[in-house]
C-alpha cells in the first residue's frame, strides 16, 4: 500500500518507539512510502530517498492517501556572499566574520587526486586553526556555522554564510535581478537555518544526502566535503553543524559498543580540531542529516 508523508518532517526509526538513538533519517513532506505492516500507532515502511532504499518505522498518523507536492525552487536563485577577498576578514578577526575569509594567502583544496585532495583539506584545517583562532572563539554565542562555512569556502564548496531574504527569493524566482544588500536582501544564517537550507536548496548546489554515517565517512575518505547538520527542537536555541574529515594516519573514526563515531572538526561550545562523536543523536535535536558534495 502506498501512502504519503503529510507533515513537514517525519522521523524514520529502526524500532517502533521514540528515542534519540533510533532515528535513521527524516522523510520530507510529500514523500511516497510503501506500508509493509502496521502495529498500533506505528507503520513499518519502505522508502526510496535519492537512490537509497530504506526500511524503518514511522508514526502512522503522519501518513495519508493524499499527495503533498514539496516546494521547488528556480535555478535563478544563485549563490550569494558578502564582499569576497576583503583582507580584513581573517581567522584572527571578529569584526568582519559575515564576510568570507579574504586573506590572500589562504589555502584552497586541490583536486588532482584523492591523496592531493585529502592533504589539502588538512592544510585548510591547520590554517583555520579552530582551537585558537579568534574568529571562532565561543563567547555569549558559538560559531559552528561560521567555521563550517569557512571550511567549505576554502574547499571551493558553497555553504551559505548569508542567504537571500524571502522577499528577495520571490523576486529572483520571477526572473528579476536583486541587488546584494546586507540586512535588506540578504541575511545571516545560523545553524538551525543551515539544516533547512541543505534540505531545500542544497541539491541545487551539489549537496547530496546519505542516511548512514559510515557512508558519509567513506565519502570524506575519498576527498568529498561532508557535514552533519542538526536542528534544535527549540527554534530560538542553537542547532549544530560539524565537518566530517578524511581519515589519515593516526586520525581515525572509531567504533564503540557497535556504534560508529566519525572523524570530525568543529567550532561550538568546544572548538575541536579533530574529534570523534555522535553528537547529532542528542535528544535536543529534532532533525539531523548527513550531507556531502564533491
CATH number at residue 200: 3.90.1720.10
147 and 52 within one domain: no
119 and 186 within one domain: yes
The H or E element spanning position 225 is strand 225-232
Q: What is the pLDDT of residues 79-118, one digit of tens each?
A: 999 999 998 899 988 778 899 999 989 999 898 999 999 9
In terms of C-beta density within 10 A (0-12 exposed, 13-18 middle, 19 or more buried), how is residue 50 classed?
exposed
Among 16, 40, 61, where does a domain finish? 61
pLDDT for 291 equals 96
Q: Please state the pTM of the whole predicted model.
A: 0.79
162 and 55 within one domain: no
25-29: list long-range contacts, CB under 8 Å, 24+ apart: 25/49, 25/54, 25/209, 25/211, 25/289, 26/287, 26/288, 26/289, 27/58, 28/70, 28/199, 29/5, 29/68, 29/70
The H or E element spanning position 256 is strand 254-256
Please check whether residue 103 lies inside any domain of the structure.
no
Among 61, 77, 105, where does a domain finish? 61
158 and 268 within one domain: yes
163 and 246 within one domain: yes
Contact 209, 290 (CB under 8 A): yes
Residue 42 three-state SS: strand
Please check whether residue 89 lies inside any domain of the structure.
no
258 and 161 within one domain: yes
- What are the phi and psi torsion angles at 287 (to 5°)? -140, 150
β-bridge partners, 240: 230
156 and 279 within one domain: yes
118 and 53 within one domain: no
How many structural domains are present in the chain?
2
Q: What is the pLDDT of residues 53-89, one digit of tens each?
A: 888 998 998 888 876 554 545 566 889 999 999 988 9
Q: Which grid coordinates are listed for 83? A: 564582499
pLDDT for 94 equals 79
pLDDT for 97 equals 85
24 and 126 within one domain: no
pLDDT for 19 equals 75
Residue 28 three-state SS: strand
202 and 127 within one domain: yes
Low-confidence ranges of the chain (pLDDT < 70): 8-9, 20-21, 50-51, 67-76
Among the listed residues 74, 256, 247, the one whose alpha carbon sits nearest the alpha carbon of residue 173: 74
Cα(39)–Cα(47) distance, integer angstroms: 18
The H or E element spanning position 153 is helix 144-154
Please check whether residue 273 lies inside any domain of the structure.
yes
pLDDT for 51 equals 64
Please check whether residue 97 lies inside any domain of the structure.
no
- What are the phi and psi torsion angles at 182 (to 5°)? -60, 130
Residue 267: give the domain boundaries: 114-293
Q: Which grid coordinates are listed for 163? A: 542567504
Please check whether residue 231 lies inside any domain of the structure.
yes
Q: What is the CATH number of the domain that holds 39?
A: 2.30.30
146 and 30 within one domain: no
Please check whether residue 76 lies inside any domain of the structure.
no
Amino acid at each position: 500500500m502506498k501512502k504519503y508523508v503529510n507533515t513537514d518532517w517525519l522521523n524514520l526509526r529502526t524500532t517502533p518507539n521514540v528515542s534519540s538513538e533510533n532515528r535513521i533519517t527524516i522523510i520530507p513532506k510529500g514523500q511516497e512510502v510503501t506500508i509493509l505492516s502496521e502495529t498500533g500507532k506505528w507503520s513499518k515502511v519502505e522508502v526510496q530517498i535519492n537512490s537509497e532504499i530504506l526500511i524503518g518505522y514511522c508514526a502512522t498518523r503522519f501518513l495519508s492517501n493524499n499527495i503533498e507536492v514539496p516546494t521547488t525552487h528556480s535555478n535563478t536563485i544563485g549563490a550569494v556572499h558578502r564582499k569576497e577577498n576583503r583582507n580584513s576578514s581573517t581567522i584572527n578577526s571578529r569584526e568582519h566574520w559575515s564576510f568570507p575569509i579574504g586573506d590572500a594567502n589562504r589555502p584552497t583544496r586541490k583536486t588532482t587526486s584523492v591523496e592531493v585532495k585529502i592533504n589539502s583539506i588538512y592544510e585548510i584545517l591547520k590554517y583555520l586553526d579552530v582551537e585558537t583562532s579568534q574568529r571562532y572563539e565561543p563567547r555569549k554565542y558559538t560559531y559552528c556555522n561560521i567555521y563550517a562555512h569557512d571550511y567549505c569556502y576554502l574547499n571551493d564548496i558553497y555553504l551559505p554564510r548569508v542567504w537571500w531574504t524571502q522577499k528577495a527569493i520571490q523576486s529572483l524566482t520571477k526572473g528579476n535581478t536583486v541587488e546584494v544588500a546586507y540586512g535588506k536582501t540578504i541575511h545571516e544564517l545560523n545553524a538551525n537555518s543551515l539544516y533547512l537550507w541543505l534540505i531545500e536548496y542544497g541539491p541545487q548546489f551539489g549537496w547530496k544526502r546519505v542516511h548512514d554515517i559510515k557512508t558519509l565517512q567513506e565519502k570524506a575518505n575519498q576527498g568529498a566535503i561532508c557535514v552533519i547538520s542538526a536542528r534544535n527542537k527549540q527554534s530560538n536555541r542553537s542547532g549544530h553543524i560539524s565537518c566530517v574529515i578524511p581519515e589519515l594516519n593516526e586520525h581515525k573514526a572509531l567504533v564503540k559498543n557497535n556504534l560508529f563515531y566519525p572523524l570530525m572538526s568543529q567550532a561550538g561550545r568546544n572548538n575541536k580540531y579533530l574529534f570523534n562523536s555522535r553528537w547529532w543523536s542528542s535528544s535536543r535535536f529534532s532533525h539531523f542529516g548527513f550531507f556531502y558534495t564533491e
